[in-house]
Amino acid sequence: MTLLSNPPAATQDDVIALRAIGKTYASPAGAFHALSAVDLSIRRGEFVAVVGQSGSGKSTLLNLLAGIDRPSSGQIHVDGQALHALPEKALSAWRGRAVGIVFQFFQLLPTLTAAENVMLPMDFGKRWPARERRPRALELLARLGVAEQADKLPGALSGGQQQRVAVARALANAPALLLADEPTGNLDSHTAQGLLALLGELVREGQTIVMVTHEHAAIRHATRVITLADGRIVGGAETAHA
């Protein structure tokens, strides 16, 4: 069994294409350039780790890829969609369909069970008929090794279990792109290794993953490492291998 019911086709097409991206924030001290002239292409099936010092622009880059934030300049295409031109309403629908996000602090909704958390994106995205959502959620949880926790609330789960549920939730709508923000930052090393192995497995099944991290152990699992410094890509902008 594969983790992805509807895996993206293993082509050599770019999933992500960033052209001259700039992101500037206004601050009391003046304009702050979080990203400047970033050009980046990521192909399907790549496992990209984004590294850099705090304030280097990693989270900003991830937010732009997720359609959570908009660039101040440049063009951004993800899975063939020009995000910079998409209105807010369409962006929400696109996000639900095309991107899965894994947060550092899991961000599971505390009053929903693990299965219900996984069903939630399907509920918003309406990509699966209502009757298929729970079986699919249970299937994802089983593949991630937390099937027995399906009907438990997040408060009753360990950190590792919560993060696995979060990954299952990110995969709920079979997105073309999985974005992970410090996914192991809140886990012990053993649990973190398990999770990274799981992400590696997903990549082997054709999933594209972009992961922000600062942990060397995590970097080892990536197929490409992009280094950011002061809002610019200083390493790994080009695809190293397919």
Partner 1 sequence: MHERALLDRIGLSPRWRKMLRDAGLHKARTLLVIVAVATGMIGAGALLDAWALVERATAESFLGSHPPSATLRVDKLDAERLAQVRALPAVGAARVRGRAFGAIEVGGKRFTAELFALGDVAARDIGAVYSERGAWPPRDGEIAIEKSSFDYAGAELGATAQMQLGANPAGTLRISGIAHDVGLPPGWMDHVVYGFVTPATLASLGAAPVPNELQFVVRDARADRDAVRRIAYDVKALLERNGAQVTNVDVPVPGKHPHAAQMDSLMLTQGAFGALTLLVASFLIVNLISAILAGQTREIAVMKALGAGAGQIAVMYFMFALLLGLLASAISIPVAIAIGRPYAALKADMLNFSVAGIAIPWWVIALQLLVGCLLPVLAAAWPVARAARLRISVALRDAGIAAENGAWLRRRFALPGVSRPLLLSIGNAFRRRQRTLLTLLALAAGGAVFIGASNLRHSVLASVEQMFANQRYDVLLRLADAQPAATLEAVAAQLDGVARAQAFATDSATVLHADGTPGNAFTLIGVAPDTPLLQLDLAQGRWLEAGDRNVLVVSQQLARDEPQLRPGADATLTIGGRTARWHVVGADRTVVQMVAYAPFAALTQLHGDERVATLAVALKPGNAATRLETILRLRAALEQHGMPVAGSQLMSETRRSIEDHLLMVVQFLGAMAWVMIAVGGMGLASTMSLAVLERTREIGVMRALGARHGAIMRMIQAEGIVIVVLAWLVSLPLSAPMSVGLAVAFGKVMFAVPAQPLPNAAAALGWLLLVVVVSLLACAWPGWRAMRVPTARALSYE
* Binding region for partner 1 (CB under 8 A): 63, 66, 68-69, 88-89, 92-93, 95-97, 101, 103, 107, 109, 111-113, 116-117, 119-121, 123-125, 130, 134, 151, 169, 173
Task: Give the residue with the Cβ less far from partner 1, 153 or 219.
Answer: 153
What's the closest the beta carbon of residue 157 comes to partner 1, in angstroms? Answer: 15
Q: CA 46, CA 101: separation in Å to the nearest integer? A: 16
What are residue 233's DSSP bridge partners? 228
What's the closest the beta carbon of residue 118 comes to partner 1, in angstroms? Answer: 9
Task: Give the residue with the Cβ less far from partner 1, 66 or 176.
Answer: 66
Q: Are 49 and 223 in contact (CB under 8 A)?
A: no
Task: Give the residue with the Cβ less far from partner 1, 14 or 116.
Answer: 116
Task: Give the residue with the Cβ less far from partner 1, 119 or 199.
Answer: 119
Q: CA 141, CA 124: separation in Å to the nearest integer? A: 19
What's the closest the beta carbon of residue 100 comes to partner 1, in angstroms? Answer: 8
What's the closest the beta carbon of residue 201 comes to partner 1, in angstroms? Answer: 23
What's the closest the beta carbon of residue 216 comes to partner 1, in angstroms? Answer: 26
Task: Give the residue with the Cβ less far from partner 1, 4 or 68.
Answer: 68
**CA nearest neighbour of 239 among 216, 223, 227, 228:** 223
